[in-house]
Amino acid sequence: MEQFKTIGLIGRLGSAKVIDTLERLIRFLGERQLDVIIDESLAAALSDHGLPLAEREALAERSDLVIVVGGDGSLLGAARTMCRTGTPVLGVNRGRLGFLTDISPDEVETRVGEVLDGNYESEQRFLLEAEVYRDGELVGTADALNDIVTHPGKVARMIEFELFIQNQFVYSQRSDGLIVATPTGSTAYALSGGGPILHPKLEAMVLVPMFPHTLSSRPLVIDAASEIRIHIGDANEADPHVSGDGQTQIVSKPGDVLIIRRKAQRLTLFHPLGHNYFETCRSKLGWSSRMGD
């Protein structure tokens, strides 16, 4: 008996290659007599399939497994919904790097078939949640699998803020902003900012200043259970933006308070058997192979 009876399909819009892979998946899953639900955003691109459509939240609730076809950005968007229902996610890479979407489109039937047969590795990835308060009232929220970033927005100027961790004052800073990243996000924007790579099994967060005014300011790794509080300085001339995975935006005001903490729900991420995190780093980041290879 199939472990997964209903499969949800999500794909990145605007890519013929993504649509080609989705159509291959639909045929393959149909041959296995599985129920398939399509993300309603794909309705126009996949018009002749005759399969049910569902908005993202309903798709998560009705699916036993969700397959995301696209790049890591596509999976990031799906993760924020799938974590609420605990629906496992499997990624097929049709993007560039593919840290999270690790199945090659050339082997999609083989690898997806193995997962459907129960041959897979499963891991839990934690997310972050951010809340922005103004005069004590909640004015905006954001979730992120990769990172929460405070930045000046479209204005090219530094912002001032105070950082507190577990209610303890850390420092005041003038910089282009601050990246708060999960281990998943440590190989994304935070890495470009000079932050360390955190293994995904670590229960830790990394705080990476963006072009700080003082050269002594360095990335800081802290316990993932910590609560981070950022006080946006009253003297800021710009309205700093708070973004989640670069996909959701909150426009803050001087005097606002940003709170970031680990989200209670986690993403269940599936990989084919033999998945090796360090091999992924080698291939995606251009690390050297073993001598003699």
**pLDDT tens digits, one per residue of 176-214:** 999 999 999 999 999 999 999 999 999 999 999 999 988
Instruction: Select from 118, 151, 178 the last residue of a domain.
Output: 118
Residue at 270 is within a domain: no
Asked if residue 140 and residue 74 are part of one domain, the reply reads no
Domain count, the chain: 2
CA distances from 179 to 133, 168, 188, 226 (A): 19, 19, 11, 15
Position 156 confidence tier, pLDDT thresholds 50, 70, 90: confident
The pTM score is: 0.94
Q: Which pLDDT score, from 0 to 100, does residue 50 have?
A: 87
Q: Do 104 and 131 share a domain, yes or no?
A: no
Whether 217 has a pLDDT exceeding 50, the answer reads: yes
Q: Is the pLDDT of residue 1 over 50?
A: no
* Residue 68 C-alpha from the chain's centroid: 13
In a domain, 78, yes or no: yes
Same domain, 256 and 142: yes
133 and 49 belong to one structural domain: no
> 114-155, pLDDT tens digit by residue?
999 999 999 999 999 999 999 999 999 999 999 999 999 877
Of 118, 153, 169, the position where a domain reaches its end is 118
Residue 86 lies in a domain: yes
- Domain with residue 105: its CATH number is 3.40.50.10330
pLDDT of residue 220: 98
Any domain includes 274: no
Full residue range of the structural domain in which residue 256 is found: 127-264
One domain, residues 101 and 185: no
Three-point CA angle 104, 68, 129, nearest 5°: 125
From CA 162, how far away is CA 229, in angstroms rounded?
8
Q: Which of 118, 139, 172 is the last residue of a domain?
A: 118
pLDDT the model gives residue 49: 80
Q: Is the pLDDT of residue 75 over 90?
A: yes
Average pLDDT for residues 45-59, to the nearest whole number? 90
Same structural domain, 97 and 138:
no
C-alpha–C-alpha distance, residues 293 and 280, integer Å: 17
For residue 287, tell me if it sits in a domain.
no
Instruction: Say if residues 18 and 44 touch (Cβ distance below 8 Å).
Output: no
Helix 108-116 vs helix 16-31: angle between axes, to the nearest 10 degrees? 40
281 found inside a domain: no
Rounded CA separation 218/236 (Å): 22
Per residue in 80-93, pLDDT tens? Answer: 999 999 999 999 99
Do 143 and 227 reside in the same domain of the chain? yes
- What pLDDT band is residue 172 in, cutting at 50, 70 and 90? very high
For residues 267 and 76, the answer to whether their CB atoms sit within 8 Å is: no
User: In 3D, which of 177, 182, 180, 176 has the Cα closest to residue 148?
Assistant: 180
Does residue 235 sit within a domain?
yes
Q: Are residues 145 and 83 in the same domain?
A: no
Q: Looking at residues 206-225, what average pLDDT do you find?
A: 94
The reply to whether 239 and 131 lie within a common domain is yes
Residues 110 and 139 in one domain: no
Domain presence at residue 290? no
Of the candidate ranges 83-87, 100-104, 242-246, the one whose mean pLDDT is the lowest: 100-104
Give the pLDDT score at 60.
97
Query: Are 74 and 20 contained in the same domain?
Result: yes
| Contact call for residues 176 and 151 (beta carbons, < 8 A) | yes
Catalytic residues: 72
Q: Return the CATH number at 213.
A: 2.60.200.30
Residues 152 and 33 in one domain: no
Q: What percentage of the chain exceeds 90 in pLDDT?
A: 82
